[in-house]
Amino acid sequence: MKSIRQNIDALLSKRPNLFTRVTGISLLLLALCSFATHHESHGQQLRDVFRIVQPAVVMVRTQQIGLAPYPQQGLVSSNGLGSGVLISNDRVLTAAHLVESTDRTVVEFSQGELISATVIGCALSADVALLELDHSPANYSVAKLSDSDQVAVGDEVFVVGAPYGISNTLSAGHVSGRRVLNNGNSSANIEFLQTDAAINSGNSGSPVFNLKGEVVGIVSNIMSKSGGSEGLAFAASSNTVRRALLDRKPFWTGIEGVRVDGRLANALNLPQSAGILVQRVAEGSIAARSGIRPGTLRANVEGNEVILGGDIILRVNEMLVEEDCDLDRIYGRIAQLKPGENLVITILRQGKILKLAIPISQ
């Protein structure tokens, strides 16, 4: 009589695929269980980090008076909506394009508290701005800025903001790339993190977090043909934000302007190759106090809408506006002034060159 061992050996020799099939199924089940466990663990981690950082994320509401859209006439009040993140008891980071010429800014916290804020810094090249709250919120949680040099393509990140005004919305994705804009000064390079996390209107100024709950970027814009998220968005890196607004004295002009050069500069009779055509001026800003006048007539110039009739800035404290100039560097002359010194802005107004001077009070 054959032994049990011999019977097993005979069975396996006749059915060589049986062991392989059983082993393959076992490995598949093991892999599925491992994936499910990892996925559940990752989801739990994301939930826990979101609960920690969510109180620091705010909605930024703006209001400004400007020209009515064509063909309407006169002035209208318009409202803007974006996001931001609290980084101290009274300071919020957001997007510059949201607040660069706003007349009134209000920050709304996750528990519904509303606090008025003042723009104290704008870095247009990086599209980031710094707000100062009128007072600290009753209960607040601040977010920590990360060292974005440690961020790598492929890292998992998530965005918290208010797309279309829906607050406390989370979207997750990865860092898809790193893009550096060189504006001619290597020490002032602007870096953007590219991400495939879903970002829509209302996410401007939203913080981008790593899985430690640290801010690695501030959302700037999306590239989209439909107007909605298509998986291609950009955020100023946290180190760029730090260099532009936190490591030096911040400044805010209150000017929304466009650089004009070439044929348009010639058509406007500029006495030099380029200038800054003023579109809007925010109430209470240093530009408003100095007497800068905004545009008065909407026009379409070679497919681009501009507002004509406003002052054209030629110099700021004798620093010439040139065709390849960095507007942040031009406006940055204001931040270098000390209390008691004069800010002198040379403008072209209705064909005449004027100098406007205002003393710096603080």
pLDDT tens for each residue of 286-299: 999 999 999 999 99
Burial level of 320, CB count in 10 A (0-12/13-18/19+)? middle
Q: How far apart are CA 253 and CA 120, in angstroms?
A: 9
Q: Tell me, what's the pLDDT at 326?
A: 79
Tokens, residue 243? 């260099």
The pTM of the whole model exceeds 0.75: yes
Tokens, residue 206? 């939203």
Q: Answer yes or no: is pLDDT of 44 > 90.
A: no
Helix spans in the chain (H) = 4-14, 16-53, 96-99, 238-241, 262-267, 286-290, 327-336
User: In angstroms, what CA-CA distances link 35 with 24, 32, 49, 158?
Assistant: 16, 5, 21, 21
Q: How far apart are CA 59 and CA 92, in angstroms?
A: 10
Q: How far apart are CA 131 and CA 58, in angstroms?
A: 12
CATH for 255-359? 2.30.42.10
Query: What percentage of the chain has pLDDT greater than the value 90?
Result: 67
Tokens, residue 138? 């009753």
Q: Which residues pair with 50 in a beta bridge?
A: none
All structural domains of the chain with their residue ranges: 4-53, 56-252, 255-359
Mean pLDDT of the region 54-69 = 94
CATH for 56-252? 2.40.10.120
Write out the DSSP string of 172-226: EEEEEEEEEE--S-GGG-EEEEEE-S---TT-TT-EEEETTS-EEEEEEEE--SS
Q: Tell me, what's the pLDDT at 41?
A: 62
- Cα angle 198-85-66, degrees, rounded to a multiple of 5: 85
Q: Tell me, what's the pLDDT at 69?
A: 84
User: In angstroms, what CA-CA distances link 74 with 38, 103, 291?
Assistant: 59, 17, 21
Nearest alpha carbon to residue 93 among 138, 132, 51: 132
Q: Answer yes or no: is pLDDT of 6 > 60.
A: no
Q: How far apart are CA 33 and CA 39, in angstroms?
A: 10
Q: Answer yes or no: is pLDDT of 177 > 60.
A: yes
For 153, which DSSP code? T
Q: Tell me, what's the pLDDT at 138?
A: 92
Query: pLDDT by residue (tens digit) across 240-268?
Result: 999 999 998 888 999 999 999 999 999 99
Per-residue confidence at 226, pLDDT binned at 50, 70, 90? Answer: very low
Mean pLDDT of the region 264-284 = 95
Averaged pLDDT of the chain: 86
Q: Answer yes or no: is pLDDT of 57 > 80.
A: yes
Instruction: Please identify every residue annotated as catalytic.
Output: 97, 127, 204
- Low-confidence winner among 136-140, 143-147, 206-210 (lowest mean pLDDT): 136-140
Cβ neighbours, 10 Å, residue 270 = 18
Residue 7: partners with Cβ closer than 8 Å, 6 or more residues away: none
